[in-house]
Amino acid sequence: MRKEFTTPGGEERLQSATARQSPPYPPGDGKVKLVTTDWLEDHLQERGMTVLDVQPNVHDYIKEHVPGAIYLNEGFLRVPAHGFPTSYGPQACMQESFRRVGLAADSPVVVYTGKGAFSGIGDGLAQTMMAYSLAKFGHNTVYVLDGGIDKWKDEGRTLSQEFPAVDPSQFTVEVRGEYPIGYEDFKQVKDRDDVVVLDARPAKVYEGQGPWRKPGHIPGAISLPWRSLMDDGNPMLLKPNDAVIDILEQHNIDRSKTIICSCGTGREATNEFLLFKWYFEYPDVRLYEGSYTEWTAYPENETVEGREARKKPVAAAPSR
């Protein structure tokens, strides 16, 4: 059974208890990889490497950050477009922001977040949201700090309050349109037998009422809360590979199908997009950026309440 979820290639790597201790993980030419706190400390002085602190509030960064880290809040990524509240900003804005923090597309950038030592509002998703966005807009070597700054602090590593000098870069945005899937394409393919749609929101929201105009979930979407994949005490730390594989098996998510990651606004789904596309190297992974917010913006779209992915058919009344 397990082999279905890790083939082709990489079964031994995925099952190895020490695989992620040989970062960057996984090996190969993927755009996004995991690195450990040990690795980051060993490479902090590496020429050409940028460390981005994407903690939830600038005061969190001011209070403490990894030495040499530059602050870039994820909030700049999305702005309203024609009233829709969670669209990506203009490419020119993305490009200017990435230039201001000195990014070069082929030089490594490490991204981390935390719960927020000052604000206390961090949910752990800022680093996956930023990593996905960097890759989408043309960066080629993105590293996510497994465990974030919280793990760094727990291990007693050095923190700083210094703001590093940064030389602007000439980063050029090149959008990778094969990562997201738009609304019309999503509607066309979501119910195909060779497609699995995942919903990364908490189970109680998937089953019932969240902030959206309609309760429930997109018909056919399988509940896979992103938080279930992470360490119980640290939302930035991915569970051991074997534990994650067990969860995927329980949900019958295999490599032979197209995986579409969704959630509420496209942010929680970045956690699972990174996992499937880059950490576990599934061959066909997309992210429905509009997610449930866009789906429910169309009143004619049906939704499903409860634990089942689809509405159960109503039994026909017995004939007399």
Task: Answer whether 223's CB lies under 8 Å from 216's CB.
Answer: no
Cβ within 8 Å of residue 178, ≥6 positions away: none
How far is Cα 127 from Cα 124, in angstroms, rounded to an integer? 7
Does 263 participate in catalysis according to the annotation?
yes
Q: Is the link from the previous residue into 24 a cis peptide, with omega within 30 of 0?
A: yes
How far is Cα 124 from Cα 189, in angstroms, rounded to an integer? 31
Task: Answer whether 53's CB lies under 8 Å from 164's CB.
Answer: no
Alpha-helix runs per DSSP H in the chain: 3-6, 11-15, 37-43, 58-63, 91-100, 126-136, 148-154, 183-189, 203-207, 241-250, 268-274, 291-295
Adjacent-strand bridge partners of 143: 33, 110
How far is Cα 211 from Cα 114, in angstroms, rounded to an integer? 25
How far is Cα 163 from Cα 16, in angstroms, rounded to an integer? 39
Residue 23: DSSP 8-state = S
Q: Which of 14, 126, 263, 269 is catalytic?
A: 263
Which residues are annotated as catalytic? 263
